[in-house]
Structure 1
Amino acid sequence: MNSREDDELAQAAVGALTGQLALAPKPGLPDPRDLSARTTRVDHRALRWSAKALAPGLAAMAAAARRTGEPTARLRTELGAIGRCTEHSVGLAGGGHRGALWVLGLLVAAAALEPRAGAKDVAAVAKRIAAHPDRRAPRRPSRGSSISAKYGAAGARGEARAGFPHVRRALDALAAARSAGADEDEARLDALLTVMSTLQDTELLHTVGPTGLRHVQAGARGVLEAGGTATDAGREALYALDADLHARAWSPRGSAGLLAGALFLDSLVVTVSSARAA
């Protein structure tokens, strides 16, 4: 049976994912404007619904981490098994969120191991978990790992084994945008664009190759260099990038999952600060 703390971590992770889904406009990504899936070919309502199906699996990952007590190879293997079961459940609920599940699963487990750690310390614990191989994983290579090998991209595994550098960059971007006076949605969009501007997104590499990836990265940098989404020039650049990627049907899905991870860690800051104050 899961503890209340495990369930709270799972709900915080699902809340971070649904918070990412609620943002608009997200260039090339499903958002509330596209309820009928005409543009991105992904039904936003179905994604919101299926996000809730992650909660039991994420709570089980937190419980496994708390029971194990250390970022061991045994824990990594158990998390992998829970993750595959959770993927099946999410598929029955409508699908999606595979990348987010990988990011959030490791971060939830790390947060359970170190309940009073700060956001970036949790990412460092997740790195220690990800360093171990999943000995029960299917032996066939995934599309992401094949693309990583072909182009030398870090991919999802590399991102985790490096301690989620793009999650940490997104956290820095959130803090900087808030300090500059951006509202919460603008800060979150700036964090998404920060990830998009440098991430070697294997989904984009698969669909449009290195040239397309560089085009997306340059577009995201253009919004930030124009002042970010809180400025008129930055907002205009955001809408131009959004129209461009939707017209091309290019989707930087890897960035969305990493933003969800950042929003989850960001939610822990308030919890940890409150616990220390008490």
Structure 2
Amino acid sequence: MSALIARQAQPSLAERLADLAVQALIDEADLSPKPGLVDRRGNGAHNDLHLGLMHASAHALWPAFKAMAQAAQLFGEVGQPLREALGQLGREGETEMLRVTAGVNTHRGAIWALGLLSAAAMLRPDAAPGQVATTAATLARLSDPAAPHNPDSHGARVCRTYGVLGAREQAQHGFPAVLGHGLPQLLASRRAGAGEQNARLDALLAIMSDLTDTCVLHRAGLQGLGRMQQGARAVLDAGGAASLDGRRQLRELDRDMLALNASPGGAADLLAATLFLDRLTPAASAPTGSN
């Protein structure tokens, strides 16, 4: 067999972006110990989720992420046609997710965040993470007439009750929790020699320390949100996940989140977005095959 025939075709940029999105979801799920969240230790504050289900859900979303990146390539610019295409593809991805998980919502928020970022990265393959997030925000601010209106969803009720912004607004504002907290902390902890897993935990905690997480508000109200934010700050103030004092604070936060039945799912989705943006440069610079 000739080397030319045996050589595998290079994946397209759309495929590489889908790979990055799925890997970000898997890395977020595997990261341990995460307070209140599914990880390698167990189910956290959930009785309907487990690590295997999170992995299966992430893999099931690969075609949707690829399709959203391809849609951006097809339309070639931010505009209403692309926004509506992304909305439809996201809903199709959610349907497949729910089929694989037997109706359990594992990654609805992540489809929104990573779908927008995948499309933005396709439009701006050489851009810095902040520029990609800005492009995604411009897309997110466009309307999608076909989007279902569900005022009784958990997120919608929480936003009304507490007057807070949710996942949609986080994207529309350019992912401030990611660019202002998650990504800077990830890079700072790496520079400090924390090790990759501890750096990722610190990034999650930095997001938790500031985010108004509607998942926590839904499950545990303002008490749960306050404990999440205060506890996350305490871990970082004690030296982060790589330090002995930080680990003690992290164990206490995990214990309290479980007692409150609080799971920071919004922060988890934004950690996945942080990891996606962190890895964009190598993906964009790799050889591109046929799309």
Scaled to the shorter chain, the TM-score interval is over 0.9
Q: How far apart are the structure 1 equivalents of 2:97 and 2:44? A: 22
Q: How far apart are the structure 1 equivalents of 2:238 and 2:220? A: 26
- Kept in 1, the 8 Å contact 2:136–2:171? The answer is yes
2:58 is equivalent to residue 47 of structure 1: no
Residues 85, 51 of structure 1: alpha-carbon distance in 2 compared, 3 angstrom cutoff: same
- Specify the alignment match of 1:164 in structure 2: 175
Deviations 1:159-185 (CA, angstroms, capped at 9, x unpaired): 011100111121111110011111000
**3-state SS of 1:25 partner:** coil
**3-state SS of 1:48 partner:** helix
Offset at 1:54? 0.5
- Specify the alignment match of 2:253 in structure 1: 241
**3-state SS of 1:243 partner:** helix
Question: Structure 2-normalised TM-score?
Answer: 0.89
Q: Is there any run of 5+ residues in structure 1 with no aligned partner, and where?
A: none
Counterpart code for 1:123 = A
Matches within 5 A, 1:90-109: 90-94=97-101, 95=104, 96-109=106-119
- Specify the alignment match of 1:6 in structure 2: 14
Q: How far apart are the structure 2 equivalents of 1:153 and 1:137? A: 21
Which of 208, 217, 226 does residue 205 from structure 1 map onto?
217
Q: How far apart are the structure 2 equivalents of 1:86 and 1:39? A: 25
Q: What is the number of equivalent residue pairs in this alignment? A: 271
Deviations 1:177-213 (CA, angstroms, capped at 9, x unpaired): 0111110000000000001011011111122212221
Counterpart code for 2:211 = L
2:194 is equivalent to residue 145 of structure 1: no
Offset at 1:38? 7.5
Q: How far apart are the structure 1 equivalents of 2:267 and 2:81? A: 29
- Kept in 2, the 8 Å contact 1:118–1:272? The answer is no
Which moves more between the two structures, 14-23 or 68-77? Answer: 68-77
Deviations 1:62-120 (CA, angstroms, capped at 9, x unpaired): 01111111111221111111111110101111141111111101100100111111111
- Kept in 1, the 8 Å contact 2:17–2:283? The answer is no
Q: How far apart are the structure 2 equivalents of 1:189 and 1:23? A: 7
2:136 is equivalent to residue 126 of structure 1: yes
- Specify the alignment match of 1:64 in structure 2: 71
Which of 228, 237, 253 does residue 216 from structure 1 map onto?
228
- Bigger Cα Rg: 2
- Specify the alignment match of 1:179 in structure 2: 191
Residues 38, 207 of structure 1: alpha-carbon distance in 2 compared, 3 angstrom cutoff: closer
Which of 143, 152, 155 does residue 166 from structure 2 map onto?
155
Q: How far apart are the structure 1 equivalents of 2:146 and 2:260? A: 38
2:40 is equivalent to residue 32 of structure 1: yes
4+ runs of 1 displaced by more than 4 Å?
272-275
Q: How far apart are the structure 2 equivalents of 1:273 and 1:77? A: 28
2:269 is equivalent to residue 257 of structure 1: yes
Counterpart code for 1:61 = M
- Kept in 2, the 8 Å contact 1:40–1:246? The answer is no
Deviations 1:190-247 (CA, angstroms, capped at 9, x unpaired): 0000010110111111222122211111011110111111111111111111122123
- Specify the alignment match of 2:146 in structure 1: 136
- Kept in 1, the 8 Å contact 2:45–2:261? The answer is yes
- Specify the alignment match of 2:92 in structure 1: 85
Identity %: 45
- Specify the alignment match of 1:75 in structure 2: 82
The structure with the largest helix share of the pair is: 1
